[in-house]
Amino acid sequence: MATSVRAADGSPPPARSAPSAPAPDGRRSAGWRSRLYRFDTKASPYAFISPFFLVFAAFGLFPLIYTGWLSLHQVELGAPAHWVGFRNYTRLWDSSFFWTALRNTFTLGVISTVPQLLMALGLAHLLNFKMRARGFFRVAILAPYATSIAAASLVFVQLFNPDYGMINQFLGHLGVHGIQWETSKWPAQIAISAIVTWRWTGYNALIYLAAMQAVPADLYEAAALDGASRWRQFISVTIPSIRPTIFFTIIVSTIGATQLFGEPMLYGGGVGISGGSAHQYQTLSLYMYEKGWQTGELGQASAVAWVMLGILLLIGTVQLFVLRINRRTAGG
Amino acid sequence: MAQLTENSRVVGARHSAEAARPKRRRFRADGAGKQQQAGPIAYVFLIVAALLSLFPLYWTVVAASRTDTEIVTPPTPLLPGSHLIDNLKIVWDQVDMTKALINSTIVASFVAVSTVVFATLAGFAFAKLEFRGRNALLTVVVATMTIPPQLSVIPLYQIITNLHWFDHLQSVILPSLVAAFGVFFMRQFLSEALPIELIEAARVDGAHSLRIIWHVVFPIARPAMAVLGMLVFVQSWNDFFWPFIALDQQNPTVQVALAGLGSGNHTVDHAIVVTGCLVATLPLLLVFAVLGKQIVGGITAGAVKS
């Protein structure tokens, strides 16, 4: 597709007329030269991709497998490991803290991604209109992306403070008083989701916007000729056309949500690692950190890590399955 | 540069790189002609969204220039005060912010440059070179993006303590030398922007692969390399999880220093914490203010094709 467009632009063909015969220079040395050439074309692709695979093998794959090995052992820092089979996993199964963390990861994941992606979709739709100050709006909604998890969390802690925070002051004007944004479970989870949503909505909106701009205009014209309203066009032209992008953002956000760590940790301040005094917002990542670095049970922590991988694989499989069904029903 | 212009191949390359750009602009202009005009409701929603996005940033500036007492006494101030300099001094007293800023700059620059170079090499190979196992290996690259960092931190932590790398910058740089996202990003860009004829022509002229990389691939990939470099720099600057584990307050990055301000031994002074946040965020906000358009363009360009 790219080449046809480029040809239509009438740009000069970039390559000079290339003789398909062997290299014109040096017939004498053709033997070793062509051997060298063949070696170069054979080996260099692997050389070019090797840095990624070396780094991944050393810092991704090996630790991943080693974590699996650790999860089958009882390990404390500085002491030799000994085999315990699946006991780390069965202990997780029996631990109410683990189930709390699992539930929290799930609920935080849902309330931090679903509204976020819906709002991003709406914003992208609005940004796709012809308007003034388009550039300003785009940069403005992306600005939170420039902040770090740490900075955003620490600032939101102030805004959500039950006693002096601006949000409770504002809600006070509306007649809602004294929401405990840290100590009660749902308000705390909503506050943490607000941090995630604030940081990522603009980013996702821009991704959707880019996909929407690639939707051919004649699709809309045809829909308009058929008498479809703007809303109707959004539902039956825009959404189906950007479906791959929507799936992409869902997958990326799900992965991010499963790993949620910095926001709840810093939101909780002194009790961040346990996810609040009653573990009301402790995620799996925090639970793993608490096991590994607070109580020093590395085997338990590794088991939590592998459970997270299992969950991601499960979600990924479900998503792929849905994607496939979706493609089939869309007739694509 | 001068070297490059002598080279007819590269002149050709530049032509085609320029040809690729109007393509997008023309397309957008076509679309815009038929686009619907935004109504007042759209403006209202967008203004609210922009305010919600910008207000916490604005309030960071306000709180960083106030005292702790002013922040915790309702009604919360909405205009900047006069204590910014004092607060900055206290931040610098409590954590080694100079070192943190230097460390973050070192780490983010290192990671950005190496990711861009390695990702361009790998992206080029995946986009334009023929080799056995290409598709399978590309699938592996994409699949690695789903592995959470949590799965590797425990062994990594043991490795860096065994190597006595704890609290040394290499422990945060080395694992991030190249990222799957970057490889995929460059592959997407180069599959479209780099005509295969250019490489074939260079090969016919007897150029070996490294020459092709230097004289053909890098010049064409430059715009995408710049965007990827910025994205990786931002990501690395803001990275929290692993630096928080691998470094401590003796040798922190900015984010680790921030965590130290928020908890730690000092009685928490809210104005100081927020001032730290301002210091940590300001460098990137300045970058966004200057290069916002390019960053927006980069994010959107990388996304559609995936």
Task: Supply the pLDDT for residue B280.
Answer: 92
CB B42 within 8 A of CB A131: yes
Least Cα distance to A126 among B133, B302, B128, B41 occurs for: B41
**B-chain residue closest to A252, CA distance:** B146
Task: Supply the pLDDT for residue B286.
Answer: 85
A40 at B interface, C-beta within 8 A: yes
Regarding predicted confidence, which is higher, B255 or A36?
B255
Q: What are phi and psi of A15, to 5 degrees?
A: -85, 140
Judged by CB atoms within 8 Å, which residues 118-147 of A form the interface with B?
119, 122-123, 126-131, 135-147
Q: Is the pLDDT assigned to residue A124 strictly greater than 90?
A: yes
Mean pLDDT of B274-278: 93
How much is the mean pLDDT over chain B?
82
Give the model confidence (pLDDT) of B85-102 as tens digits. Answer: 999 998 998 888 999 999
Which of A64, A140, A166 lies nearest to residue B147, judging by beta carbons? A64
* Nearest chain B CA: its distance from A115 CA (Å): 14
CB A195 within 8 A of CB A147: no
Least Cα distance to B68 among B282, B268, B281, B257 occurs for: B268
Burial category of A117 from C-beta neighbours within 10 Å (exposed 0-12, middle 13-18, buried 19 and up):
buried
Q: CB under 8 Å to A222, separation ≥6 — which residues?
A: none
Q: Is the pLDDT assigned to residue B19 strictly greater than 90?
A: no
Task: Supply the pLDDT for residue B262.
Answer: 62
Task: Supply the pLDDT for residue A77.
Answer: 66
Q: What is the ipTM of this complex?
A: 0.81
Domains: count for chain B? 1
Per mean pLDDT, which range of A175-179, A270-274, B131-135, B299-303 is the poorest? Answer: B299-303
Determine, for residues B237 and A123 on separate chains, whether the beta-carbon distance falls below 8 Å: no
Q: How far apart are CA A143 and CA B299, in angstroms?
A: 13
Q: How far apart are CA B62 and CA B37, in angstroms?
A: 36
Task: Supply the pLDDT for residue B115.
Answer: 96
Task: Supply the pLDDT for residue B303.
Answer: 53
Q: Is the pLDDT assigned to residue B14 strictly greater than 80?
A: no
A274 at B interface, C-beta within 8 A: no
Report yes or no on B45 lying in a domain.
no
Q: How far apart are CA A209 and CA B144, in angstroms?
A: 27
- In this structure, the number of other CB atoms found within 10 A of the CB of residue A148 comes to 25
Task: Supply the pLDDT for residue B6.
Answer: 32
Give the model confidence (pLDDT) of B229-256 as tens digits. Answer: 988 998 899 999 899 999 988 899 999 9
Q: Is the pLDDT assigned to residue A50 strictly greater than 90?
A: yes
Q: How far apart are CA A143 and CA B67, in angstroms?
A: 26
Report yes or no on B184 lying in a domain.
yes
Determine, for residues B193 and A2 on separate chains, whether the beta-carbon distance falls below 8 Å: yes
A202 at B interface, C-beta within 8 A: yes
Report yes or no on B249 lying in a domain.
yes
Q: Cα(first)–Cα(last) distance of chain B, in Å?
A: 33
What is the domain extent for residue B260?
90-304
Task: Supply the pLDDT for residue A33.
Answer: 75
Q: How far apart are CA A70 and CA A68, in angstroms?
A: 5
Which of A25, A53, A131 lies nearest to residue B42, judging by beta carbons? A131
Task: Supply the pLDDT for residue A39.
Answer: 82
Please, what is the angle between helix B218-238 and helix B97-128, to 10°?
A: 140
Task: Supply the pLDDT for residue B10.
Answer: 33
Per mean pLDDT, which range of A28-42, A171-185, B140-154 is the poorest? Answer: A28-42
* Residues of chain A with C-beta less than 8 angstroms from the C-beta of B145: 255
List the CATH number of the domain containing B295. 1.10.3720.10
A292 at B interface, C-beta within 8 A: yes
**A-chain residue closest to B30, CA distance:** A217
Report yes or no on B241 lying in a domain.
yes
DSSP for A243-261? HHHHHHHHHHHHHHHHT--
Task: Supply the pLDDT for residue B17.
Answer: 40
Q: CB under 8 Å to A13, separation ≥6 — which residues?
A: B197
Tokens 């479900």 map to which residue? A318
Q: How far apart are CA A185 and CA A165, in angstroms?
A: 18
Give the model confidence (pLDDT) of B122-134 as tens digits. Answer: 999 999 998 999 9
A59 at B interface, C-beta within 8 A: yes
* Residues of chain B with C-beta less than 8 angstroms from the C-beta of A56: 144, 180
Per mean pLDDT, which range of A172-176, A236-240, B55-59, B268-272 is the poorest? Answer: B268-272
* Nearest chain B CA: its distance from A149 CA (Å): 7
Q: Is the pLDDT assigned to residue B2 strictly greater than 70?
A: no
**A-chain residue closest to B119, CA distance:** A52
Q: Is the pLDDT assigned to residue A120 strictly greater than 90?
A: yes
Report yes or no on B40 lying in a domain.
no
B229-250 burial, b at 16+ Cβ within 10 Å, e below that, comes to: bbbbbbbbbbbbbbbbbbbebe
* Residues of chain B with C-beta less than 8 angstroms from the C-beta of A260: none
Per mean pLDDT, which range of A257-266, B152-161, B179-188, B263-272 is the poorest? Answer: B263-272
DSSP state of A273: T
Give the model confidence (pLDDT) of A200-222 as tens digits. Answer: 999 999 889 988 888 888 888 88
A225 at B interface, C-beta within 8 A: no
Whole-number Cα distances in Å, A92 to A104, B2, B16: 15, 64, 58
Report yes or no on B110 lying in a domain.
yes
Structure tokens at A127: 């940004």
Domains belonging to chain A, first-starting first, are 96-330 (1.10.3720.10)
Mean pLDDT of A300-316: 91
Report yes or no on B299 lying in a domain.
yes
